[in-house]
């Protein structure tokens, strides 16, 4: 069975940084994060294949960087220059294959709250 354990998140002031991590157990392919804020649709924030191909939401390009350690099935999301609009619950997701959409999904993390204050 595939399991994902997320860490990171928290409360930061605008302009600050956070790093999220997501460790997977089991065999997975691409990994990444979705986020959902109240009243907003869930959106793909970033995804990365084990080969290093990446995808970012337009809203985070230039500020967020996703990376991976394939030997540990772990991905990291470095979030810099955080804005209040980045506030959301961030959910790690793992795909069964190499698609940067992460579908079909193998597992979801428990979610971690990111709150950015003005």
| pLDDT-based confidence at residue 104 (cuts at 50, 70, 90) | very high
State the Cα–Cα distance between residues 100 and 118, nearest whole angstrom: 32
State the Cα–Cα distance between residues 94 and 56, nearest whole angstrom: 16
DSSP 104: S
Distances (CA, A) of 4 to 11, 27, 117: 22, 11, 28
| pLDDT-based confidence at residue 26 (cuts at 50, 70, 90) | confident
């Amino acid at each position: 069975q595939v399991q994902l354990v997320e860490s990171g998140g928290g409360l930061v002031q605008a302009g600050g940084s956070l790093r999220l991590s997501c460790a997977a157990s089991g065999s997975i392919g691409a990994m990444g994060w979705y986020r959902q804020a109240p009243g907003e649709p869930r959106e793909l924030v970033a995804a990365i294949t084990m080969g290093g191909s990446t995808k970012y939401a337009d809203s985070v390009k230039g500020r967020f960087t996703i990376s991976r350690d394939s030997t540990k099935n772990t991905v990291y999301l470095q979030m810099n220059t955080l804005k209040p609009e980045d506030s959301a619950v961030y959910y790690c997701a793992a795909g069964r294959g190499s698609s940067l959409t992460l579908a079909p999904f193998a597992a979801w993390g428990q979610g971690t709250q990111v709150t950015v204050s003005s």
